[in-house]
Structure 1
Amino acid sequence: MRFIKPLALAFLLPATFYGVEAKMPTSLTTQARAVLSQDSLALNQKLPFDNEVVTGKLKNGFTYFIRKNIEPKGRVTMYLGMKAGSILENEKQLGLAHFLEHMNFNGLKHFPKNELVNYLQKAGVRFGSDLNAYTSFDQTVYQLPIPSDDPELLENGLQVMRDWAQDALLDGEEIDKERGVILEEKRGGRGVQQRLQDQYFPMVLNGSLYSKRLPIGTEEILKTFPYTEIRKFHQDWYRPDLQALIIVGDIDPKAIEEKVKVLFSDMTMPKKVPQRKEYRVDLLNKNQFLAISDPELPYTVAQVLIKNEKDKVLTVGDYRNELLKNIFNQMIAGRFSELMQQPNPPFMQAGGSIGDFVANLNTFSLLVVPKPGELESGFKAMLTEFERIQKYGFTQTELDRALADMKKGNEMAYIERDKKKSDSYVNRYLNYFIDNEPALSNEVSYRLTTQLLPTLKLEEVNGLVKKYYTDLNRDILIMGPEKEKANLPTEQAVLGWVKAVEDSPVSAYEDKVSNLPLLSKEPTKGTIVSSKDIGAVQAKELVLSNGVKVILKPTDFKNDEIQIMAYSPGGTSLYTDADYFSASNASSLVDASGVGQMSNVELTKYLAGKEVSISPYISERYEGISGSTDKEGLKNAFELIYGYFTEPRLDTDVFQSTMTRAKGSLENRLSNPNNVFSDKVKEVLYGNNVRRQNATVETLTKIERDRALAIYKERFADASDFVFTIVGSFDENEIKPFIETYLASLPASKRGENYKDLNILEPSKGERVVVHKGKEEKASTQLAYYGDYNYSENENVNMEALESVLTIKLLERLREKEGGVYGVGARASFNKLPKPRYAFSIGFGSAVDKTDPLISSALDEVKKIQDQGPDKVDIEKFVAEQKRQNELNLRENGYWLNYISSSYQNNLDINRYTRRMENLNKVTPKSVQEIAEKYLKKERLFEFILMPDSK
């Protein structure tokens, strides 16, 4: 459960609109056919609604959308959306829309107290990741993804939605218990971003009601509101005319519709129906300015927000305009990406986009994060680029690439239309109901976008900057570290910068595109020397003439998705501490430099309109390649792989740019309490070992360009011990020629390397470590155990079970019973190589004065499991969840890619997945108790606690 912070202006630009995500009909409606007719593509035609969803409105005003979708199989996703959020609260109810969302999990007509969560966990539904809800200014949404292959569970899922809609019990005792949870949620959200938001919200929201209705509310009201107020909010706004039920999944829509009619038709309207007003943020027709600071802000940020009335998307013409905006945003991103790769970039980050803002507004939002001490030059450089666009526009080649990217995205969405997950449909119908956004079928969306893209003209895209880049209704927001407060500019100074840029000459952008082929020479083809079936995973292992192994697993989980992963033992472990920083950054620097005969900028342009992404990596014990492609991009993907082995590059410009921006971002890193805390934790666990330190300006100075490139070349000089795993929608006979040409030809000296075990281990004896850093009166606690581990299938599944059952108990005790935390959980990790080790942690945030009592409660729950074993019902919850999750995993390309690769990498039995269900069924309270006794030993416990600055 959570509330949505709708704005984080300094670090989030508005989202862009993509017109290709939609729904698939079996046949087009008359309206859809009219819209798509080549002869009548009139821009004033209304967009047709998706005809594959069963939709209707009951007599009481309740709306429903029901759609059959078989991905994932045997699952259904239900959302209850309502047009009721914090904007509807009165002065006595601040925070109660969000509070009410919480209460819908703490007592319903058919699920009193905590029975809702308890029941669904038994069915394998995960609280938080599956079962959830959120509250924002204008809406509250409840989410329930559940199995649809159990009729009783499906029935009860519908009953949950009905209870959420109008049957919360709102028991006084439960309300009082939840106060502490929400106060901790509020406390946990406090920090530099919230403090800055408190200052700039009144300006950027034009003093509207939105600036006074943050969903989390006020501490005073959360602590003291009478029960009558939350019950009144529930009665006024949880009503059928403001609600919609959205059900998408592997179900019979007509049968579900009948159940919905029976269940929801008896919902009633209040006797006195308050008007659901549509609130606005009025334009002030003036400009505003604000400069603020905070001691925990690590760098200066400047943002320009130019506000406009939001365009409604109702017609074909409106849809076309959204495509234009998306193209415009893509081209801006390309311009600034290129700028930031200069040897001495004028800023650390910059950009801009047109997007939705809040309520009735959208914004043209410009952002710059200047280098330390260079706000004026960075701000001017950012504005100069927009002046360049305003005066000269974009080029035709830029537009062509953006159109190619959008065309490809449109095609991919259509190709995968029968593999689309239910969640994407649910969100589209939700947005249609809440915000009246278009809900097109896959067919209409694909055809409409296909027809409209060629009609988008350069002069139209360039016209957008003239429309949106104006000097009215413009807010300028400057935020900087406290130590820079005296140097933050005045409004007059910034306006002077703006005028200076407007008055300065600016040249047109030159779009440089490489005409060279990616590779300087074609590979010398090798051969496949052996092939064997791996029956357990329905895969095939190939051995190539140079020693490379390739595991192929064709699947039908997606229509056109191929994922690739490769590894070889070695990594940074083979290099000295003096070389470590060059080694650990080598792959990212090479990746940022392009490959073969193309720089990164040229490569990005070359790959426009292609669904290809390949990158190298070097970790502590391995080096390798990861990425994905579609069938059309296979040749490009293999070219890139070959290039990263044989023609890597580390451009001086890219190196200098990366170092400049990285150093700037780290200059004030210790102003962030979490960085100070993390540094101390690593110091306690690993001493001053350079391989476990966080990046700092000092460590960046130890990265040497030439040494980094030399190390990279060494790591990829011998492919003979590489293992490639390729999973997805490919035909074996079609992919083999690429394997022979680009993988069998890779250099192979057969040097027989392995990684080194660096023996970097946590201390065997724990300790308590308290760090004081931060303004907010809140604490963050991490309890952790480390040690040697007996790696086996049985041990692993019981360790996973311990993580699950302890998390359940911690939530019940620390959150539900004591009201001392918002979130708490246990986490287990373990590995086989280089030596079997485990880590087990418990984490939570809290009030400062509750830290020790909560630690005692958490450790008491650990001891209960050690002394008595977990409750059998909690084991059943874990097993149910894992079984349901396993069903989903086995239908994902990413799961199989990691499973097969890790099996080879860690010398694990590749058949072990077939024993997963058997191993789960062997888990008992006794077996989990033994794991807790064995690994959660008191003497190994570390208590890491972050407290605020000492007063």
Structure 2
Amino acid sequence: MTKYLNVVSLALAMLLTLNVSVHGQKKTKLTKKTLTGTAKKLTDPLIPNDPNVKIGRLSNGLTYYIRKNTEPNKRAELYLATRIGSLMEDDDQQGLAHFTEHMAFNGTKDFPKNEMINYLQKAGVRFGADLNAYTGFDQTVYQLPIPTDDEEVFKTGFKILANWAGKVVMDGEEIDNERGVIIEEDRERGKNAEERMSKQLFPLLLKGSRHENRLPIGKLEILKTFAHDRIISFYKDWYRPNLQAVIAVGDFNVNEAEQLIIANFSDLTNPVNPRIRKSYDLPDNKEPLVKIITDPEQTYNVAQIIYKQRSKVATTIAGYRKTLIYAMINTMLSARLQQLLQKGNAPFIFIESSYGAYQEGLVPGINALQTTVVSATGSTLEKAFTAGLAENERVHQFGFLQSELNVVKKNILAGSEKQYKEKDKTPSSAFVQQYLNNFLTGTSIPSIDFLYVQNQKEMGNITLDEVNAQAKTLITKENQIIVVRAPEKEKASLPTQARLIAALNTAGKGITGYVDDVVNKPLLTTKPVAGKIIAESKIDGIGLTEFKLSNGVKVLLKPTDFKNDQIIFTSFSRGGTSLANDQDYKSVQMVNIIPESGVGELNTAQLNKLLAGTTGRGSAYINDLYQGFGGSASWKDLETAFQMVYAYAINPRKDAEFFNKNINDYRVKLANKNTDPGSVFADTIQAVLSSYHNRGMPMTLEDLDQASLDKAFEFYKDRFADAGEQTFVIVGSFDVNSIKPLIETYIASLPASKGTQNFSDNGVRPPNGKISKTVYKGLEDKASVELYIHGDYDFTPDNNMQLAAVKSTLEIKILERLREKESGVYSPKVGLRLTKYPNSHYYFTISFKCSTANVDKLINASLEEVNKIKVNGATADDLRKHKSEQQRQVELGLRDNNFWLNYITSRLKDGGDISQILIYKERLNAVTTESTRAAAQKFLNEDNSIRLVLLPQK
């Protein structure tokens, strides 16, 4: 996974996905009952299942998980999980597991053709964003978030799951139409350097396993030509109840949901002579496997070392303790590596090292320590690789320090406490993932209460010796794999296989123990002199309180109960980088390196150690039009977050080493950027949309030569020297009266001269007229298309409402035309961007990827759909879909802190009426076919249009 996880979430994620195994499935004659089972008395007790989930099994073998959960309110997450994927395919069926997933949306017994999607869209369920599915090596999962306040829709949701499970029609015409869509999915996601290199890598990474020849996308020649009976056979063989589970979590009655599962799934049957679902392993390798791959379009020099080892599902208390220790090791190692990255002499521009599921879980039962480094050039890759190996060896030989362990334990306890406080506000999707993993891989389903108690216990018992002993096991003498990926032009300078193996064998020589940079400095040396709240007022209807402070700052507060212990905030004032003069602009573009470097005398690594055990975080930002602060905290740590805001305002850090390291890293990123077709195309789009204005052009190597820390730092200080026109928005679980002292101490004390601030209009505008530009870059038959229709307009709530309706309608029609009718694309996108400052402007975008032969045909088809909306407006059905989707999204947003933070901030920035959200439904219902027709005629004006196309180089 790519997004950041705190160490508690990481431990739980590792418990769920780190160790996976495949269960063989036997035909069962069990009747429906709760699966409690009788555990044997063990010295290592099993992790108890959460008592709040009802687990059952029908007589046909189908498993179900049901849980009542009210976050989000009036919503349910319905999933159908199947223990089948591409590994079950015969040789002439490669790709048909994934193809079957597609066909489930193209007609079933009770929902012919596209009726299912149409029905759900009218109920407010978004295709792709909500309604979706995915196929892997040994699993296919269908997801259906659905409202529960409409009884008919809720009941129909289970009917839809049952249709996926055993009632897909597999109409021959629909199969043939879908071939093109899947081929385009392969084109959209591949036909690039990553895919070409992966095709060379998988035979190494999956060597000797069935996985090697069963990639889920399959083989294009089979997808184009397979006989219909082959996919029908696959569906009949493998889509059977004893390999399936229904997961239902949400705001509903558990007994009612159970009865709906019984009613809809009991008639599904298993084959008389079922095919055996086999488990597949990955063979060991005694000697290191090495692969060096280059590609003309690869942009970075990357080296990776992998130490594989076998693993078991963590189902016991000892197993959970082990996953906690692994998570702690990963966190401490990551902290060391991030500290290295900040140093000017670091031999890599990126390094990552962690222990977890091998290649993101490609092969069940295999874990690995995987370390990846990125270097400046091919000639420096060996040095970067050796340095990465050295850090692993440093842990292996010397372990971690007690000071490091203390930091991570504090963070685990803080995160565990926060999770426990929010246990009744946990989103349904989090529980679904637990149950999904339990069914697919056999992991446990611990309750939040159990985790909280167990974490408290383990933090008191886990010793440094135990952590270091487990860390020693991560480097294995066998099952090693070395992979290098690099630009083609670097081929001659890359280290050889022999040198890479030599580096691996000698990595531990001369290594010394890690020296911790112990923090003994406060965040603030003195407490600020507090200001005052000089005025207080209420904004009726939406629960807002406004403070005016003695330094001129405004604070808007919205207390909520959406989370039990979450407070988030942001602030803004006008100015931003628009105020930089042309001579300093290139330096000012790097201004956000300043807050990233730390604060005062504390660099980022020291700051993280200082903040161990607290949830309070704050920082500063400067963008093109605004500067301000942002952060989050639990109530008890809010003072820490506000202290950080104050520190970033009055005591920014000027770190030449960190600044220069970032500039040099940026230089590496730019050096090979033009070998990547996507980067070249993105740069072209940016340049064209800014009419080649010098402030709108992409960054170049020459620009970096002009970047000055002194200029960036002085600009930063200037932007925060006067906070008098800052507006803060604070949302979350707090009491207005209780928060006053903190606001007076840390926000009312910010420096202010009470001057007037504004941003500058530097004249960056898109070009007028009809513009067409084609970029020729790339090696394969893959085209990218970006169409823009844009113009100046009056930025008003009514105009914006109509524009949104036109966009939504166009999105439906483009999908129907380009994907369903033409079978020419996989996921076309329609976008709408509205800006009020520095000038009011709207941008409609239509974008897609396709074969080069279809570019003109699909562009013409897109413009035909644009013209149809101009002539006819939105149909009644399309308006119903749009209104339902929008209303459902607003309903969810009104119970979400982030929604309110963004909504209030946006209204304040554009000067709109904050209370307009109260009449959103009435304004939405006022949108009609005629109003969308009028809006389309006014705003879909092709007089100002831009056509940008990326084609392979000639």
Tell me which interval the TM-score lies in, with the shorter structure as reference length.
over 0.9
User: Please, what is the CA RMSD of the aligned residues?
Assistant: 1.9
Amino acid at match of 1:175: I
Structure 2 counterparts to residues 77-96 of structure 1, below 5 A: 77-96=77-96
Q: Distance in 2 between matches of 1:33 and 1:444?
A: 20
Contact persistence 1:95–1:221 (CA under 8 A): yes
In structure 2, the residue corresponding to 1:692 is in which secondary structure? coil
Q: Distance in 1 between matches of 2:403 and 2:859?
A: 61
Contact persistence 1:344–1:656 (CA under 8 A): no
Q: Distance in 1 between matches of 2:760 and 2:895?
A: 36
Deviates more, 1:685-694 or 1:123-132: 685-694
Amino acid at match of 1:94: Q
Deviates more, 1:678-687 or 1:197-206: 678-687
How far is the alpha carbon of 1:527 from its aligned partner?
0.7
Contact persistence 1:20–1:413 (CA under 8 A): no
Q: 2:555 aligns with which of 550, 555, 568?
A: 550
Structure 2 counterparts to residues 383-462 of structure 1, below 5 A: 383-462=389-468
Runs of 4+, deviation exceeding 4 Å: 19-22, 29-35
Q: Distance in 2 between matches of 1:684 and 1:552?
A: 41
Q: Which residue does 2:246 correspond to in 1?
A: 245
Q: Which residue does 1:806 correspond to in 2?
A: 810
Structure 2 counterparts to residues 624-639 of structure 1, below 5 A: 624-639=628-643
State whether structure 2 residue 904 is matched by structure 1 residue 904.
no
Contact persistence 1:43–1:315 (CA under 8 A): no
State whether structure 2 residue 514 is matched by structure 1 residue 537.
no
Contact persistence 1:589–1:650 (CA under 8 A): no
Q: Distance in 1 between matches of 2:830 and 2:645?
A: 39
Q: Distance in 1 between matches of 2:163 and 2:35?
A: 38
Amino acid at match of 1:18: L
State whether structure 2 residue 477 is matched by structure 1 residue 483.
no
State whether structure 2 residue 188 is matched by structure 1 residue 188.
yes
Deviations 1:411-446 (A, max 9, x none): 111110100111111111000000111111121122
Q: Which residue does 2:798 correspond to in 1?
A: 794
State whether structure 2 residue 577 is matched by structure 1 residue 572.
yes
How far is the alpha carbon of 1:751 from its aligned partner?
1.8
Q: Distance in 2 between matches of 1:670 and 1:246?
A: 47
In structure 1, the residue corresponding to 2:555 is in which secondary structure? strand
State whether structure 2 residue 748 is matched by structure 1 residue 744.
yes
Q: 1:609 aligns with which of 607, 613, 624?
A: 613
Deviations 1:713-739 (A, max 9, x none): 000000110000100001112211111
Amino acid at match of 2:531: G
Distance 1:30 1:255, change over 3 A: closer
Deviations 1:465-519 (A, max 9, x none): 321212311000011100011222222111222334333x122211112212111
In structure 1, the residue corresponding to 2:303 is in which secondary structure? strand
Distance 1:895 1:21, change over 3 A: farther
Contact persistence 2:409–2:459 (CA under 8 A): yes
State whether structure 2 residue 355 is matched by structure 1 residue 361.
no
How far is the alpha carbon of 1:21 from its aligned partner?
9.5
Q: Which residue does 2:780 correspond to in 1?
A: 776
Amino acid at match of 2:585: Y
Deviations 1:742-767 (A, max 9, x none): 11111111121211122211111121
Q: Which residue does 2:919 correspond to in 1?
A: 915
In structure 2, the residue corresponding to 1:322 is in which secondary structure? helix
Q: 1:884 aligns with which of 883, 888, 891?
A: 888
Q: Distance in 1 between matches of 2:477 and 2:725?
A: 61
State whether structure 2 residue 384 is matched by structure 1 residue 378.
yes
Contact persistence 2:567–2:732 (CA under 8 A): yes
TM-score (norm 2): 0.95
In structure 1, the residue corresponding to 2:706 is in which secondary structure? coil
Q: Which residue does 1:669 correspond to in 2?
A: 673
Distance 1:155 1:337, change over 3 A: same
Amino acid at match of 1:528: I
Q: Distance in 2 between matches of 1:852 and 1:30?
A: 58
Q: Which residue does 1:757 correspond to in 2?
A: 761
Q: Which residue does 1:524 correspond to in 2?
A: 529
Amino acid at match of 2:630: S
Amino acid at match of 1:866: K
Q: 2:861 aligns with which of 826, 845, 857?
A: 857
In structure 1, the residue corresponding to 2:414 is in which secondary structure? helix
Q: Distance in 1 between matches of 2:453 and 2:933?
A: 59
Deviates more, 1:322-331 or 1:823-832: 823-832
Q: Which residue does 2:30 correspond to in 1?
A: none
Q: Distance in 2 between matches of 1:649 and 1:794?
A: 45
Amino acid at match of 1:245: V
In structure 1, the residue corresponding to 2:635 is in which secondary structure? coil
Q: 1:18 aligns with which of 5, 9, 12?
A: 12
Q: Which residue does 1:712 correspond to in 2?
A: 716
Amino acid at match of 1:830: L
Percent identity reads 42
Contact persistence 1:84–1:237 (CA under 8 A): yes
Q: Distance in 1 between matches of 2:134 and 2:812?
A: 21
How far is the alpha carbon of 1:694 from its aligned partner?
2.1
How far is the alpha carbon of 1:276 from its aligned partner?
0.8
In structure 1, the residue corresponding to 2:65 is in which secondary structure? strand
Q: Distance in 1 between matches of 2:898 and 2:583?
A: 36
Distance 1:478 1:718, change over 3 A: same
State whether structure 2 residue 953 is matched by structure 1 residue 949.
yes
State whether structure 2 residue 153 is matched by structure 1 residue 146.
no
Q: Matched residue pairs, number? A: 925
State whether structure 2 residue 351 is matched by structure 1 residue 350.
yes
How far is the alpha carbon of 1:389 from its aligned partner?
1.5
Q: Distance in 1 between matches of 2:492 and 2:473?
A: 36
Deviations 1:93-144 (A, max 9, x none): 0000000000000001110000000010011110000100000111000000
How far is the alpha carbon of 1:595 from its aligned partner?
1.1
Contact persistence 1:331–1:398 (CA under 8 A): yes
Contact persistence 2:304–2:385 (CA under 8 A): no
How far is the alpha carbon of 1:16 from its aligned partner?
4.8
Structure 2 counterparts to residues 492-531 of structure 1, below 5 A: 492-503=498-509, 505-531=510-536
In structure 2, the residue corresponding to 1:701 is in which secondary structure? helix
Contact persistence 1:520–1:596 (CA under 8 A): no
Amino acid at match of 1:375: L
Deviations 1:196-253 (A, max 9, x none): 1100111111231101111111110000001110001000110000000000000100
Q: Distance in 1 between matches of 2:621 and 2:774?
A: 35
Q: Which residue does 1:312 correspond to in 2?
A: 313
In structure 2, the residue corresponding to 1:665 is in which secondary structure? helix
Q: Distance in 2 between matches of 1:844 and 1:452?
A: 51
Q: Which residue does 2:284 correspond to in 1?
A: 283
Amino acid at match of 2:243: L
How far is the alpha carbon of 1:686 from its aligned partner?
2.1
Q: Distance in 1 between matches of 2:798 and 2:756?
A: 33
Deviates more, 1:601-610 or 1:330-339: 601-610
In structure 1, the residue corresponding to 2:124 is in which secondary structure? coil
Contact persistence 2:14–2:323 (CA under 8 A): no
Q: Which residue does 1:734 correspond to in 2?
A: 738
Amino acid at match of 1:85: G
Q: Which residue does 1:25 correspond to in 2?
A: none
Q: Which residue does 2:824 correspond to in 1?
A: 820
In structure 2, the residue corresponding to 1:911 is in which secondary structure? helix
Structure 2 counterparts to residues 166-315 of structure 1, below 5 A: 166-190=166-190, 191-315=192-316
Contact persistence 1:43–1:316 (CA under 8 A): no
Distance 1:762 1:688, change over 3 A: closer
Contact persistence 1:31–1:48 (CA under 8 A): no
Q: Distance in 2 between matches of 1:698 and 1:124?
A: 50
Q: Distance in 2 between matches of 1:198 and 1:329?
A: 29
Q: Distance in 1 between matches of 2:835 and 2:93?
A: 50
Distance 1:598 1:875, change over 3 A: same
Contact persistence 2:45–2:317 (CA under 8 A): yes
Amino acid at match of 2:828: V
In structure 1, the residue corresponding to 2:556 is in which secondary structure? strand
Q: Distance in 2 between matches of 1:941 and 1:195?
A: 35
TM-score (norm 1): 0.95
Structure 2 counterparts to residues 578-597 of structure 1, below 5 A: 578-586=583-591, 588-597=592-601
Deviations 1:626-668 (A, max 9, x none): 1211112111101100001111112112112211222122211
